[in-house]
């Protein structure tokens, strides 16, 4: 049976995207550059470093990437700490608790920085449920490159064939499939601009997933 579930964070566990968006566009405004919606959407799944490497290349910025990262994170952290209505996505805590109580290993694999991951996990008390937290800042290439999921799967107590990934973005799904891992696409209200068609199965709400449903994915895995 499936023994490990690998979660993405932004858009799957918590919707920090509005905070990230605010921080990025505030920073873009400071830099006096205009980033289109199409270009910004293409960054979904990118680490902050990869976003600014791309932005620097496109707009010919003289700033050091490290300085750009620091400024964006300062804006993000200030906004995160003052956003009182930030909460876990509907149903995900119940899913996490259910899987954990039934012996499923949980691993986080997020493009977010370690600092952001820790802020979210500490704020919502998620640390006891996850054996590992993997940050995209540790990898030179962001999703859709499979490195982050390949590494997360290597931390699993089970073979890769007994793992699944839950993702909500085009790049995340592509990364999971490129890593050779069964992918559940989470089609939330925040995924409207994302193409999840390459996922092995798609859900619209976390009430569609629980321990028993995850167990039944074994039959799909064997045909994957």
* Burial environment of residue 127 by CB neighbours within 10 A (0 to 12, 13 to 18, 19 or more): exposed
Check whether 215 has a pLDDT greater than 90. no
Please give the share of the chain, as a percent, with pLDDT higher than 70.
96
Instruction: Quick: pLDDT tens for 6-37.
Output: 999 988 999 887 888 999 999 999 999 999 99
Tell whether the torsion through CA atoms of 155, 161, 163 and 165 is positive or negative.
positive
The per-residue pLDDT for 222 is 57
Check whether 108 has a pLDDT greater than 90. yes
Angle at Cα 95 formed by Cα 177 and Cα 113, nearest 5°? 60
Element (H or E) spanning 203, and its range? strand 201-203
| SS3 (DSSP) at 95 | helix
Q: How far is residue 197's CA from residue 153's CA, in Å, rounded to a whole number?
A: 22
What is the chain's mean pLDDT, rounded?
A: 92
Sequence-distant (≥ 6) Cβ neighbours of residue 83 within 8 angstroms: 19
Mean pLDDT of the 205-212 span: 95
DSSP E strand stretches across 25-97: none
DSSP E strand stretches across 117-190: 132-135, 163-167, 182-186
Instruction: Quick: pLDDT tens for 195-204.
Output: 999 999 999 9
Residue 177 CA to its chain's centroid (Å): 15
What is the band of 65 on the pLDDT scale with cuts at 50, 70, 90? very high
> Could you give the C-alpha distances from 44 to 86, 123, 157, in angstroms and in order?
20, 23, 29
Token reading at 144 = 């859709």
Is the model more confident about 221 or about 55?
55
Report yes or no: 13 and 190 within 8 Å, Cβ to Cβ.
no
Q: How far is residue 152's CA from residue 155's CA, in Å, rounded to a whole number?
A: 5
CB atoms within 10 A of CB 11: 23
Check whether 191 has a pLDDT greater than 90. no
Instruction: Quick: pLDDT tens for 127-145.
Output: 999 999 999 999 999 899 9
What is the band of 193 on the pLDDT scale with cuts at 50, 70, 90? confident
Mean pLDDT of the 165-172 span: 95
The per-residue pLDDT for 113 is 87
| SS3 (DSSP) at 26 | helix
Q: Residue 52, preceding bond cis, omega within 30 degrees?
A: no
Check whether 223 has a pLDDT greater than 70. no
The per-residue pLDDT for 54 is 95
The single-letter DSSP state of residue 119 is H
What does pTM read for this prediction?
0.82
């Amino acid at each position: 049976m499936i023994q490990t579930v690998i979660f993405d964070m932004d858009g799957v566990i918590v919707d920090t995207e509005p905070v990230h968006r605010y921080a990025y566009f505030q920073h873009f405004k400071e830099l006096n550059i205009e980033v289109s919606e199409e270009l910004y959407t293409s960054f979904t799944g990118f680490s902050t470093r990869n976003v600014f490497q791309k932005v620097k290349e496109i707009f010919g910025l003289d700033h050091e990437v490290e300085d750009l990262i620091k400024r964006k994170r300062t804006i993000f952290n200030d906004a995160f700490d003052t956003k009182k209505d930030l909460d876990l996505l509907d149903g995900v805590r119940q899913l996490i608790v259910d899987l954990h109580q039934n012996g499923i290993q949980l691993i986080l694999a997020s493009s977010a920085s370690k600092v952001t991951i820790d802020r979210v996990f500490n704020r919502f008390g998620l640390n006891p449920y996850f054996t590992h937290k993997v940050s995209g800042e540790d990898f030179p290439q962001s999703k859709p490159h499979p490195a982050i999921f390949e590494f997360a799967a290597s931390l699993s107590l089970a073979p890769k064939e007994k793992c699944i990934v839950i993702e909500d973005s085009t790049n995340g799904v592509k990364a999971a499939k490129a890593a050779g891992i069964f992918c559940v696409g989470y089609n939330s209200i925040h995924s409207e601009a994302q193409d999840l068609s390459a996922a092995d199965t798609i859900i619209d709400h976390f009430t569609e997933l629980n321990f028993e449903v995850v167990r039944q994915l074994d039959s799909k895995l064997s045909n994957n």
